């Protein structure tokens, strides 16, 4: 009788996919926050120069 490990492998892949998505979303939020802070600094600098 042959046993398969497909359910365990697919659970592992699903967990990996979920963890990877969480990491990517955290990185994107951090990038967006840094971009917004950068743009705010640029606007402040432009106003102080004008």
Q: Would you give the distance in Å from CA 32 to the centre of its chain?
A: 10
Structure confidence at residue 44 (pLDDT)? 87
Structure confidence at residue 8 (pLDDT)? 79
Structure confidence at residue 17 (pLDDT)? 96
Query: Is this prediction's pTM over 0.85?
Result: no
* DSSP H helical ranges for the chain: 6-49
Tens of each residue's pLDDT in the chain, 50 residues: 566 656 678 899 999 999 999 999 999 999 999 999 999 998 888 877 66
Structure confidence at residue 22 (pLDDT)? 98
Residue with tokens 């046993």: 3
């Amino acid at each position: 009788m042959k046993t398969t490990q497909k359910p365990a492998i697919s659970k592992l892949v699903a967990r990996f996919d979920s963890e990877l998505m969480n990491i990517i979303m955290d990185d994107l939020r951090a990038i967006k926050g840094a971009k917004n802070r950068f743009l705010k600094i640029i606007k402040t600098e432009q106003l102080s120069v004008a």
